[in-house]
Chain A
């Protein structure tokens, strides 16, 4: 187990390093000039040069990249003539556009993404596994076919459609809920939940469909296995057979799926954030790309990648917990 964790840590660091280099290269290859955007309209060449120097974009790529890596470990100082700013380690860079260190910009938004992801995951697991189980138990009957149809619809409906429809219905027409805007959990738990309810639901609908199909198939498969036949022969009730024995076999593949989905959610939550006006990481990334704000792009990308790698490692550990046959090396 410890060897596994050590190996995972090293490989994670390597993946992130390669990723950061790739993002740097892609950005550098593009014919952008962040200094021009920062400097504004009618910026004369001399001033443009000063701004370029402050942003560091007048230095060679390898030097910029090296400064970035060094900053992660020992921090770095941005020298802008009279006004030098220090960015303490781990320094993920300094935003061109907002004149702030990148790390707090990201950590401020993490609660939004975590609230969104975890709440939605709980709902899609309940809905998905519930629907999948029902479908498997009523295989071929009307309910099963209705659920299959619904899951198809769920997979086919993008968040910007369901999200807007839900808002039209629940906020504008029925007025059950406020138009969502993020309220921190610590500030007002009820408001937090009320404002997140629609985004959770909209996001969950898309994912729940996959989980329903997956768990239905897996459950049918498990129910056909011999050990189920054995417990059935012991005369256990159907409920105990399904809950106590069959669902366990469904669990492990679902954990892997969940980990991957949660990890990548930060990358794919952009539409949800955009539709509901939440100020999360995805929006930060999109804004940064549009404003050619390289330090933010690199910072958010690395954070996103970190979560994906982390989620996969956690999934592997949970896998071992749920299935005793799996041994981590």
Chain B
């Protein structure tokens, strides 16, 4: 999972990997039994969904990984995550009211619009909606949002995304509000207005404003590192209990209403988040759907082989599966400072030779992954521009690869090393072996180099001094736009001595300028076109070999209605679900 802060949080990405391991270990066994025992639930959530009459009941979220820390300053969730969006409202949010690709759109939340940029997009102004209140009835003011953002700068509350520190004037040196210092680049001229001064043009600021760091925090209720135990709610639910994020119980916030929030429906009276469950158990409980589990959804667990196998024979079950996407690309990374990867023809030959179908089979088949020939995920919000410069088809073109290698001076093939993680993830041994076999057909002998742990692998691949020449990597975006996808991987100014994701160590002034130009665009359509064009330009140089984009398929209980997977987060939108 190197180079993969994929998913809404780094921790989630790590958990996702673990989930895969556990699924394989535990549940090969049960796949057969599931059909034998047949503890099925009958039918799907019947009846039409009516938002006007959906209130009541308890929704259970069954998850493998815990929610982790629950301080808005420390959360690294894009678009408000699954549970955080129930408690923390932010200046903007993802579009909760839409499904499919449209759900990746940014819309106003606490603010009246997605932000008014200055001419060059370096100053952003927001106005708060009237009537907003915290869970204790006190009004939400601009100063509370400013304070919430300032807290995220405190070293005591680490873990949040780095953008605010890079983007806000003075952010690089600001150490948080606990010693009384304020951040002057956030102005609050009155109780309902916020003005942000940025160091450089950032057309994506409305996307960043969906981060939980933009949730209001009342200064007099701040308990520092203890705040996560009971953060003050600005959303439809308040925290009743929180066991270090492992189990969280939420109840309705009496001061929230749909009249002040057009994004969330907040149908259930109570939401119980339970983690630590074996992925297979989560799936079996949802399949069985008995008792409270009928009103449960999967928090982070994808359906496994046992459920997949049953879907076609059980239409009731099939109707309880939702498919979603999250901007995420798994790829082969090259370090051109290591021979022979400095030779474009070698990189191109490998691009031709790769067998994407074999890779997809290695990660679980076409139900959970789709082939990628572009670095940007295939959703419009990212600026997806289709291209395939090295068309090897689904199984690769070893002949074309051999031809290129001969031109490059390797008529008898060559031997290279592919580094991979030992974790059972998209960067693990199974994918590495699939790549190895495909390249062998083109005369490329691949030696595999597995790291002893995921952590080692990350450190090794993210440090330019130790970066291998050829390795498996993945990238997930913080928000559905080309910026957070292309800039960390290809911007020469983002090459870091450690924690580096620009694995090609590409520092091309033209590319950097194109990134700046795209960042300046505040019109989403123009920005999408610019990012798509940049991706298409970078693709020609074969700095990476895109392999696949993951697909998420998740189950719900039989008495759950209006559940769909958000294309921003790849998880169910808990704020719209209702239970019978």
Residues of A within 8 A of B (CB): 30-33, 36-48, 50-51, 54, 80-83, 85, 97-100, 105, 160-161, 164-165, 167-169, 171-173, 175, 178-179, 181, 273-279, 283, 290-292
B152-197 with Cβ < 8 A to chain A? 154-156, 158-163, 165, 172, 175-176, 178-179
Known contacts A160-B25, A168-B33; is-contact A80 B156 (Cβ 8 Å): yes
Contact A50/B37 with A164-B280, A171-B288 known, Cβ cut-off 8 Å:
no
B39, B163, B243: the one within 8 Å of A173 (CB): B39
Given contacts A42-B499, A45-B498, A85-B225, contact A168 B162 (CB under 8 A): no
**A50→B155 contact, CB < 8 A:** yes
| CB-based contact B244/A292 at 8 Å | no
Which chain B residue has the least Cβ–Cβ distance from A175? B290
Provide the bound-state CA to CA distance between A181 and B60, in Å: 13
A selection of 6 A-B contacts at a CB cut-off of 8 Å is A36-B499, A44-B496, A47-B155, A98-B244, A99-B69, A168-B30
Complex Cα distance, B276 from A276, in Å, reads 9
Which of B34, B175, B278 interacts with A274 by CB under 8 Å?
A: B278
Shortest distance between the CB of B305 and any CB in chain A (Å) = 14
Chain B residue at minimal CB-CB distance from A274: B278
Chain B 1-41 per-residue mask, 1 if CB under 8 angstroms from chain A, else 0? 00001000011001000100010011101100110011100
Q: Does B455 reach chain A (CB closer than 8 Å)? A: yes
Q: Which 3 pairs from chain A and chain B are nearest by CB? A: A172-B39, A42-B162, A41-B5
Q: Does B277 contact A (CB under 8 A)?
A: yes
Count chain A CB atoms within 10 A of each CB in B34, B176, B225 and give the residue with the most.
B225
Which residue of B34, B165, B244, B247 is within 8 Å of A100 (Cβ)?
Answer: B244
A239 to chain B, nearest CB (A): 42
Interface residues in B, total, Cβ within 8 A: 65
Confirm or deny: B441 has a beta carbon within 8 angstroms of a beta carbon on chain A: no
Please determine whether A42 and B288 come into contact, CB atoms closer than 8 angstroms. no
Q: Which of A164, A171, A279 contacts B26 (CB 8 A)?
A: A164
Determine the distance from Cα of A39 to Cα of B68 in the docked complex, in whole angstroms.
14
Q: Which of A32, A85, A172 has the most CB of B within 10 A?
A: A172
Residues of B contacting A50 with CB < 8 Å? 155
CB-CB under 8 A from A98, the residues of chain B are 69, 244-245
A290 lies within 8 A of B499 (CB)? no
Are A83 and B158 touching (Cβ within 8 A)? no
The answer to whether A168 and B459 have CB atoms under 8 Å apart is no
A161 to B33, CA, bound (A): 11
Asked whether any CB of chain A lies closer than 8 Å to the CB of B497, the reply is yes
Interchain CB contact under 8 A, A279 and B276: yes
| B455 neighbours in A (Cβ, 8 Å) | 31-33, 37, 292
Give Cα distance in the complex from A292 to B459, angstroms: 13
List A contacts of B38 (CB < 8 A).
173
Which residue from A164, A279, A290 sits with its C-beta under 8 Å from B29? A164
Query: Within 8 Å CB of B176, what residues of A?
Result: 82
Q: Which of B287, B293, B499 has the most CB of A within 10 A?
A: B499
Known A-B contacts A175-B290, A181-B274; A168 and B156 likewise in contact (beta carbons under 8 Å): no
- By a CB distance below 8 angstroms, the chain A residues around B245 are 98
Q: What chain B residues lie within 8 Å of A54 (beta carbons)?
A: 155-156
A82 near B165: Cβ-Cβ < 8 Å: no
CB distance from B3 to the nearest CB of A (A): 10
A167 to B11, CA, bound (A): 29
A42 and B488: CB pair below 8 A?
Answer: yes
B154 touches A83 (CB 8 A): yes
Quick check: B285 and A82 within 8 Å, CB to CB? Answer: no
**Cα-based distance from A46 to B27 in the complex (angstroms):** 44
Measured between alpha carbons, how far is A171 from B277 in the docked complex, in Å? 15
The answer to whether A172 touches B290 (Cβ under 8 A) is yes
- Expressed in whole angstroms, the minimum distance between the Cβ of A82 and any Cβ of chain B is 4
* Bound form: Cα–Cα A97–B458 in Å: 18
* B291 contacts A by Cβ under 8 Å: yes
B456 near A31 with CB under 8 A, answer yes
Known: A172-B288, A290-B18. A41 touches B246 (CB 8 A): no
Say yes or no: A43 contacts B178, CB within 8 Å: no
- Is B224 interfacial (CB-CB < 8 Å)? yes
B240 to chain A, nearest CB (A): 15
Cross-chain contact of A41 among B68, B76, B287 (Cβ < 8 A): B76
In angstroms, Cα B306 to Cα A172, docked, is: 15
The reply on B281 being an interface residue by CB < 8 A is yes
A31 adjacent to B158 (CB under 8 Å): no
Query: What distance in Å separates the Cβ of A37 from its nearest Cβ neighbour in chain B?
Result: 7
A274 to B290, CA, bound (A): 21
